[in-house]
Amino acid sequence: MKEPSTLARTESPHIGRGILFMILAILAFSLMDVAMKELTARLSVFQVSFFRGAMSLPFVLLWLMWVGRMNRIAPVKIHLHVLRGIISIAFLILTVFTLRELPLANAYAIFFAAPLIITVLSVPLLKEKVGRHRYTAVGVGFLGVMVMLNPSAMGFVSFGVITGLLATLGYSLGMILMRYMHRTERSESLMFFFVVSISIGCGLLALTDWQPVTAQDIPWLLGLGLSGAIAQYLLTEAYRMAPPSVLSSFEYTAMIWALFFGYLLWGEWPSIWVLVGAIIVIGSGIYISHREAQHAAQRRLEQKV
Task: Tell me the per-residue pLDDT of 20-46, one tens digit each, with 9 for 90 and over.
Answer: 998 999 999 999 999 999 999 999 999
pLDDT of residue 7: 36
* 1 assigned to some structural domain: no
Q: What is the pLDDT of residues 160-200, one digit of tens each?
A: 999 999 999 999 999 899 888 988 998 889 889 999 999 99
In a domain, 128, yes or no: yes
Q: What average pLDDT does this structure show over 223-252? A: 81
Residue 76: give the domain boundaries.
6-304
Q: Is the pLDDT of residue 86 over 70?
A: yes
Range with the poorest average pLDDT among 49-53, 134-138, 219-223, 260-264: 134-138
pLDDT at 296: 65
pLDDT over threshold 60, residue 12: no
- Total domain count, the chain: 1
Predicted local confidence at residue 275, as pLDDT: 93
Q: Lowest mean pLDDT of 55-64, 102-111, 227-236, 274-283, name the range.
A: 227-236
125 domain-assigned? yes
Pick from 164, 167, 224, 205: nearest CA to 38: 224
- pTM here is 0.86
